[in-house]
Amino acid sequence: MQRNADRTKARILEAATEEFAALGIAGARVNRIAEVAGCNKAMLYAYYGNKDGLFDAVFTASVEAYLEAVNFDAYDLPRYAGRVFDFFEEHPEHLRLAVWYRLERPGSARLEAVLDVNANRLAELEKARRAGAFHSDFRLAELLSLVQAIATNWSSMTPEFTATAPVSRARRRRAVVTAVAKLLDQ
């Protein structure tokens, strides 16, 4: 049987994910998070310290969920980009959290989960490039950045541009996979 503390923490993280995704760190209100989670603010502070600590926990959980769901494959970047596209189409709150993180935390201490992921991916890309899996004149950090940008492009469009985008999710996904393949001269 799950402890009450574990259930409370899970409810807080769920409520905080919705609040932070919708309003960012500055706009989020601890009162609303506690109310939606069905606990008091003191409990939230006891578990996470403060609003920034809670956001770090939410963002770390978001990164972990993304990593679990989207397998990175340095040997097949177009298919990887398709999986990234799928994840953010199905879970737009994760992309919104990442945007808030970039906007509201530009000079903050870096989260270990993100640093580790980036280092591992760059090492995997180096290994795949040496094995001849792809050709690219871009530096690996540039390449990884471009692949991520292409994969999340449709999910981050303004409503005005989205109105002109292909309606078919399958067509948008094909555009992502094809663009990444062309980026790699494939």
Contact present, 89 and 102 (Cβ < 8 Å):
no
Per-residue pLDDT of the chain (186 residues; tens, 9 = 90+): 456 888 999 999 999 999 999 999 999 999 999 999 999 999 999 999 999 999 999 998 998 899 899 999 999 999 999 999 999 999 999 999 988 988 888 776 667 777 888 899 999 999 999 999 998 889 999 999 999 999 998 877 766 666 776 678 899 999 999 999 999 986
Return the pLDDT at 1.
44
Q: Which CATH class is domain 70-186?
A: mainly alpha
Q: Which residues contact 64 (CB under 8 A, 6 or more apart)?
A: 113
Return the pLDDT at 124.
96
Domain ranges of the chain: 1-59, 70-186
**Two tokens at 41?**
């603010």
Contact present, 72 and 125 (Cβ < 8 Å):
no
Superfamily classification of domain 1-59? Homeodomain-like (1.10.10.60)
Return the pLDDT at 159.
67
Contact present, 62 and 98 (Cβ < 8 Å):
yes
CA separation for the pair 186, 171 (Å, rounded) = 19
Contact present, 92 and 85 (Cβ < 8 Å):
no
Contact present, 20 and 100 (Cβ < 8 Å):
yes
Which long-range contacts does 66-74 make (Cβ < 8 Å, 24+ apart)?
66/94, 67/117, 72/120, 72/121, 72/124, 74/121, 74/124, 74/125, 74/127, 74/128, 74/133
In this predicted model, what pLDDT tens digit does every residue of 28-68 receive, in sequence order? 999 999 999 999 999 999 999 999 999 999 998 998 899 89
Q: What angle do CA 101, 44, 11 make, to 5 degrees?
A: 80
Q: Residue 2 to residues 6, 17, 45, 54, 177: CA-CA distances in angstroms? A: 7, 21, 21, 21, 42
